Structure 1
Amino acid sequence: MSAGTGPGWWRRTRLTPTILLMLTAILGVALATHHRSDPGRAGQRPVTPAPALAGATLTGERFDLAAARGHVVLVNVFASWCGPCRDELPLLVETARRWSPQGLRVVGLNLRDGPEAVRALLQEAHADDLTVLPDPDGTRAVEWGVRGVPETFVVGRDGRIVAHQPGVVTAQWLQEQLAHLLETA
């Protein structure tokens, strides 16, 4: 048995701080590259149960996310005073119309707004049929972990959040997040 391979050889081997630093850096780069190479993870949270979301809509009807099980639900947190929210609203309306036959429900959670301002925005965007739950004090948004507007969540047919987009959604993001969930209907 040679001197370097016998029992206790690892005790005789010295890992210098430079070697340890290099190994740590290589591992860090490898992990970061792996995370960046998975575009499906960007803007996604781990799959978790969606918080409760129920109450009277802007039109006085009742909405309950728990009753929407079996549907894919896109929850968009928005405000009429938010420019980016206004900009993405037509895309959300188009998405609702395109995918609703496959089981998509689009629900707006209106943050810290007055009903008149929201109604005016919906009318302007030809989105009068959009389901909107008022959140005048922001309590519901906090329960969902919202940090700003707009934010969008995709809730799968089983009631769990499967995707999250802080900021404005794009047609590409919506396609990537919804197509596979709705084509399995």
Structure 2
Amino acid sequence: MIRPRFRTPRVGPALALALTAALGTVLALGLRQPAPPPDSAAAGGMPAPAPALAGATLDGGRFDLADARGQVVLVNVFASWCGPCRDELPLLVDADRRWSPQGLRLVGLNVRDGADAVRALLEQTGAQGLTVLPDPDGTRAVDWGVRGVPETFLVNRDGRIVDRQRGVVTGQWLEQRVAPLLAR
């Protein structure tokens, strides 16, 4: 009896290395645990500590959320290519101007954008003074559990995330969430 002979395809070292690297990348990304979504406060649980947020700002300064302890911080995740982000920036800047004497700090986390596009957006929306941390690859946003833009996090004076808004913030949201924290 003659048995058919099957040939196993040979995989060259370069292809084997590329496949191994691709599989390793997929596993690493799949196994990487982003920060748990800070919704525990909204669910009645203990507010989650805010993830680290520090680095060079768009204007060449430096920002570190840890240095903002004692202040209420709004972290707004935005992009110049996001229409709703463009719409909400003037409201956020007005809230910052209104409440900064009571201890509010507004910080923008700009994802997947270029510096020139962000500067143009800030100028168009009257937000030139906004502290902006660039996040060109989205890594910081992932650490914060961001699902899309815009998204805004409210960090209390103890550095804990007490609320988050997925999508555009409204004046009502700011009044209901921010004002009470500033009164404490």
Q: TM-score range by the shorter chain?
A: 0.7 to 0.9
1:153 match? 153
The 3 A distance-change label for structure 1 pair 110 and 46 is farther
Give the match for residue 52 of structure 2. Answer: 52
Distance 1:46 1:164 in 2: 14
1:45 positional shift: 8.1
Q: After superposition, what is the alpha-carbon deviation per residue over 1:128-151, rounded to whole angstroms, capped at 9, x for unaligned?
A: 100000000000000000010000
Q: Which residue of structure 1 lines up, in the alignment, with residue 174 of structure 2?
A: 174
Larger gyration radius, structure 1 or structure 2: 1
CA contact (8 A) 1:50 1:159 kept: yes
CA displacement at 1:46 relative to structure 2: 5.4
Task: Tell me how large the CA RMSD over aligned residues is.
Answer: 1.6
Residue 138 of structure 2 corresponds to 138
Give the Å deviation of 1:41. 4.0
Q: TM-score, normalised by structure 2?
A: 0.76
CA contact (8 A) 2:42 2:162 kept: no
Match of 2:95, SS? Answer: helix
Distance 2:99 2:139 in 1: 29
Aligned identity (percent) is: 74
- Given that 1:84 and 1:150 are in contact with CA atoms closer than 8 Å, whether structure 2 keeps it comes out as yes
CA distance in 2, matches of 1:132, 1:41: 27
Separation in 2, partners of 1:117, 1:150 = 16
Deviations 1:136-177 (A, max 9, x none): 000000000001000000000000000010011000001111
Secondary structure of 1:107 counterpart: strand
Give the paired residue count: 144
| Equivalent residues of 1:107, 1:131 under 8 A apart | yes
Give the Cα–Cα distance (whole angstroms) in 1 for the partners of residues 178 and 135 of structure 2.
25
8 Å contact kept, 1:84–1:168: yes
| Residue equivalent to 1:66 | 66
Which residue is equivalent to 1:123?
A: 123
Q: Which one is further off, 44-53 or 123-132?
A: 44-53
SS for the counterpart of 2:163 is strand
Structure 2 contact 150–166 (Cα < 8 Å) conserved:
yes
Q: Which amino acid aligns with 1:53?
A: L
**Residue 45 of structure 1 contacts residue 163 of structure 1 at CA under 8 Å; is this kept in 2?**
no
Q: CA deviation at 1:101?
A: 0.3
Unaligned runs of 5+ in 2: 1-40
Residues in 1 aligned to 2:130 and 2:119: alpha-carbon distance in whole angstroms: 10
Distance 2:166 2:46 in 1: 14
Instruction: Give how far 1:183 is off.
Output: 1.3
